[in-house]
Amino acid sequence: MNAMMSSLNRSRVFCCFTMLLAAVTAGTLWAGPSPTWCGTKLNSLAVKDDGGNLVVLGMEGSYNNGGNTKEKVFDGDVNTFFDPPSGGTAAVPCWAGLEFTEPVVVTRIRYYGRPTTLWNRMFGCFFQGANQADFSDAVTLHVGATTDGWTWDDKAKKGTWADFYVANPESLHGYKYLRLLGADGAYCGNPSEIEFYGVTAAALSAAFDGQTPTCSAANIVTSFFINNHLTLGLAYTAAAPFYELQRKPAASDDSAYEHVAYIPFCWDNYTADTIHGYLCFDEKPVYDSTTYRLRAYGTAAQSPWYEVGTFKSYAMKGV
Ligand code: CA
């Protein structure tokens, strides 16, 4: 979600925040359901054939009958990729996906592009969940440039994994089907591998239904600036799958608030279940007049907004 943030800055921030969280999470801030709901690899819950092989859904065939079929997306080999027979159109879309044995909630998606060339065909492609086999009720879980700030251009690189956390209201629903849908003419992005992570919808419900999400000053661990952009260090203190941050000019009324980011609390990239916090980076510059508010997002209800306040960036003072 940090599209403007350089990888150098990102690593520095994570380093600092990891140290910070080492102190924070040593205490008892965590008082909600176990964050293990954030996920295990879901591919193993997908429907298999009688031979125990994953049943891969999507466009049949391969480009020039070269053998690079949709099954290559889920074969565990980053050197094999899906190259469909045509580029795909709105009428005849290119896609590859899985059916699951029960509805699943996606919290994280990993993607490995075509390994040697044309890896940027992934740009403009997006992930969907559905409960109808024909995806007639499909919901977009992630798209190239969304309100959460993710872009494939930032994340999808040649010869590497792209790793995304999924946190938005749509992601809280369970889906029987998940797929990657290619942009028109993109040959489904030529993916080498896709890994879905999350939990069953039943597990999400057991962890969070009936919980009352709250949001307060206790969620704010720290705030600092990176090149005039606000970075909030947040701690997980409420029974909520994720939080939402908004911003506005302080002098405006609440109708001026705009979405900044959904903030997932399944950020266990380094040490699973020990980091109950997250860094939220605002892509827009902070001005003296910028104010923020935060709320916890539950499965059935949200907490009241907590006014985080106004932060003054020394470099932008007076702007
Ligand atoms: Ca593969």
pLDDT in tens, 173-218: 899 999 999 989 999 999 999 999 888 899 888 878 888 888 888 8
Per-residue tokens: 152: 């494939």
**Dihedral angle over CA of 205, 144, 283, 160, nearest 10:** 90
pLDDT digits (tens, 9 = 90+) for 56-72: 999 999 999 999 999 99
Cα of 272 vs centre of ligand 1, distance in Å, is 26
Rounded CA-CA distance 106/38 in Å is 8
pTM (2 d.p.): 0.78
Q: Return the pLDDT at 52.
A: 93
Cα of 194 vs centre of ligand 1, distance in Å, is 8
Rounded CA-CA distance 138/129 in Å is 6
Cα of 197 vs centre of ligand 1, distance in Å, is 17
The DSSP code for 26 is T
- Say which amino acid occupies 74: F
Under 8 Å between Cβ of 234 and 242: no
Cα of 68 vs centre of ligand 1, distance in Å, is 9
Name the band, by pLDDT with cuts 50, 70 and 90, for residue 159. Answer: confident
CA atoms within 13 A on the CB side of 301: 10
Cα of 76 vs centre of ligand 1, distance in Å, is 5
Cα 309 vs. chain centroid, distance in angstroms?
26
Under 8 Å between Cβ of 152 and 161: no
Rounded CA-CA distance 94/182 in Å is 5
Cα of 260 vs centre of ligand 1, distance in Å, is 35
Strand partners, 56: 98
Q: Return the pLDDT at 272.
A: 34
Cα of 42 vs centre of ligand 1, distance in Å, is 16
In three-state secondary structure terms, 264 is strand
Cα of 284 vs centre of ligand 1, distance in Å, is 37
The neighbourhood of ligand 1, an ion, using CB within 5 A, equals: 72, 75, 77, 80, 192-193
